[in-house]
Amino acid sequence: MLNYILHNDHANARISVSQAKPGDAGAVMELLVGTARWLQSTGSKQWDALLTGDDHHNVVGHIDKGELFMFKDGDALAGIVLLMQVPGEWDLGLWGPDGHEPNVYLHRLAINRDYAGQGLGADMVRWAETGISFPGKHVMRLDCIASNPKLNAFYSGLGYVYKGTSPSGFCLYEKQLSSR
C-alpha cells in the first residue's frame, strides 16, 4: 500500500477526497472513458485507447496499490488523480533512469464533465501538493501531451516548471513541494 500522510480530506469546501478501493474501479473507469470521449469530441486522440477497452495504464492495479484518489461531491465522482511514489515504465522512458527518489508522479487527472469549468482541476492539483504528503518526496512531476496548449498553460499556471519535451511529444513539468 501507498505510504502517505493525509493532511486534508477535502480539495475544497464541497469536494471530499478519499483513496480509491477495488470496488470503485467501475466508476473510475467510467469517468476515464467519459473523459476520453470528451477529448475525442474536441479533436484530441489523447486517451483514445480507453475507448477500445485498452487500459494500458492499469488503473485497477494502481487502485490495488492505493495510488488512485477520488474527489467526490457527496456520492458523485467529480474527479480522480493518480499519485505514484515509484516511477512507472512510462516515467522512466520520459525522464530517464536516474534521479527518481525525491519525486511523486501525478497521472490520470480526470474530471467529470459536470464539474468542468469550476476550478476543480486546480483544486485537485493543489490538494495533491498540500493535502497529502509522501515521506522523502519533495518534488511533483507530471507530463502532458505537447499538442494541447491549454493543458500545458494549466500546469505552468499552477507553478509547474517546464523541463523539456520528450521525443514522443510530451512536455515534462515538475514543482518543488513545501516540506512539512
Give the pLDDT score at 2: 76
pLDDT in tens, 21-38: 999 999 999 999 999 999
Residue ranges covered by each domain of the chain: 5-137
12 pLDDT exceeds 70? yes
The topology (CATH level 3) of 5-137 is Aminopeptidase (3.40.630)
| Cβ contacts of 143 within 8 Å, gap of 6 or more | 91, 94, 166, 170, 171, 172, 173
pLDDT in tens, 58-102: 989 999 999 999 999 999 999 999 999 999 999 999 999 999 999
Cell numbers at 57, concatenated: 495504464
Cell numbers at 37, concatenated: 470521449
Query: What DSSP string runs through 110-130?
Result: EE-GGGTTTTHHHHHHHHHHH
In this prediction, residue 1 has a pLDDT band, given cuts at 50, 70 and 90, of: low
pLDDT in tens, 103-146: 999 999 999 999 999 999 999 999 999 999 999 999 999 999 99
The pTM score is: 0.95
Give 178 or 34, the one with higher predicted confidence.
34
